[in-house]
Amino acid sequence: MPVEKVIYKTSATSTGGRTGESKLDDGTMQVTLTTPKEMGGAGGAGTNPEQLFAMGYSACFLGALKAVGRMQKIAVPEDTTVQATIGFGQRTEGGYGITADLAINIPGMDKAAAEKLVEAAHQVCPYSNATRNNVNVGLTIV
């Protein structure tokens, strides 16, 4: 579904592909990119697109949990965490794809309430909406 009104935009420029660099166009962040050994690269210091995606998805999903909590008048504890694990591999249809597994820890919240909150957050999180019907996303309450 298209976005009706864009309220924020950012952009980044990458050079060298998976072994190069990527930087935000506003100059606030720059990273060295390295290809993991498991993917045929040298590994070593640096990061890769899957790691950056994991950071973005986990932060965004946590923000969605808090937003839904506010809307539903549910207190989301400050020490709530979301761990995103992103996988990379070949698709049976050809090409490559990713998987995403989110482990959500909401201290002090009973499992049934946490499951409802997580499902609601999954419906509003921009990353969840971007991946829906294209990436297998696992949601686990820990």
87-101 pLDDT per residue, tens: 999 999 999 999 999
Summarised one tens digit per residue, pLDDT across range 46-84 is 999 999 999 999 999 999 999 999 999 999 999 999 999
% of the chain at pLDDT higher than 90: 97
8 A C-beta contact, residue 66 and residue 79: no
8 A C-beta contact, residue 97 and residue 135: yes
Average the pLDDT over 92-115 and give the result.
96
Q: Which fold has domain 1-47?
A: N-terminal domain of TfIIb (2.20.25)
Q: Is 122 left (phi over 0), alpha (psi -120 to 50) or beta?
A: alpha
Can you give the pLDDT at residue 1? 67
Reply yes or no on whether the pLDDT at 2 is more than 90: no
Task: Return residue ranges of the chain for CATH 2.20.25.10.
Answer: 1-47
Label residue 15 by pLDDT band (50, 70, 90): very high
Q: Which fold has domain 49-141?
A: GMP Synthetase; Chain A, domain 3 (3.30.300)
Can you give the pLDDT at residue 116? 97
Can you give the pLDDT at residue 129? 96
CA dist., res. 128 & res. 135, Å (int): 9
CA dist., res. 38 & res. 18, Å (int): 13
Mean pLDDT, the chain, whole residue set: 96
Residue 47: DSSP 8-state: B
Reply yes or no on whether the pLDDT at 142 is more than 80: yes
Can you give the pLDDT at residue 38? 94
CA dist., res. 42 & res. 35, Å (int): 6
